[in-house]
Amino acid sequence: MLKSKICEMLGIRYPVFQGGMAWIADGKLAAAVSQGGGLGIIAAGNAPGQYVREQIRLAREETENPIGVNIMLLSPYADEVAQVAAEEKVQVVTTGAGNPSKYMETWLGAGIKVIPVVASVAMARLMTRCGAAALIAEGGESGGHVGELTTMVLVPQVCDATSLPVIAAGGIADGRGAAAAFLLGAQGVQMGTRFLSARECSIHPVYKEKILKATDLCTMVTGKRLGHPVRSLRTRFAREYSKAEYGGMPDEELEALATGALRLAVQEGSEEKGCFLSGQIAAMVKKEQPAAEIVKEVAEEAEAVLREALQWVK
Ligand code: TUI
User: Using CA positions, which residue lies closest to atom 5 of ligand 1?
Assistant: 145
CA 312–ligand 1 middle distance (angstroms) = 38
For the residues 68-92, what does the mean pLDDT come to?
Answer: 98
Is residue 92 scored above 90 in pLDDT?
yes
Which residue among 46, 72, 129 has the greatest number of ligand 1 atoms within 8 angstroms of its CB, and so is best to mutate? 72
For residue 207, what pLDDT band results from cuts at 50, 70 and 90? very high
Q: What is the pLDDT of residue 288?
A: 98
What is the pLDDT confidence band of residue 48, given thresholds at 50, 70 and 90?
A: very high
Pairing of strands 67-72, 230-233: unpaired
pTM over 0.75: yes
Tell me the pLDDT of the chain averaged across its residues. 97
Average pLDDT (51-74) is: 98
Ligand 1 site residues, Cβ closer than 6 angstroms: 22, 45, 72, 74, 96-99, 117-119, 123, 138, 144-145, 147, 228, 230, 277
58-67, 90-99, 254-263, 280-289: which range is least confident on average? Answer: 254-263
pLDDT digits (tens, 9 = 90+) for 114-172: 999 999 999 999 999 999 999 999 999 999 999 999 999 999 999 999 999 999 999 99
* Whether the predicted pLDDT of 248 surpasses 90: no
Best residue among 77, 145, 191, 231 to mutate for probing ligand 1, ranked by most atoms within 8 Å of CB: 145
**Atom 13 of ligand 1, residue of closest alpha carbon:** 145
Whose C-alpha lies nearest to ligand 1, atom 29?
Answer: 98
At 287, the pLDDT band (50, 70, 90 cuts) reads: very high
HSE of 242, CA atoms in CB hemisphere, 13 A: 16
The answer to whether 40 touches 33, Cβ cutoff 8 Å, is yes
Contacts of 288 by beta carbon, 8 Å cutoff, 6+ apart: 197, 198, 199, 208, 212
Nearest CA to ligand 1 atom 8: 145
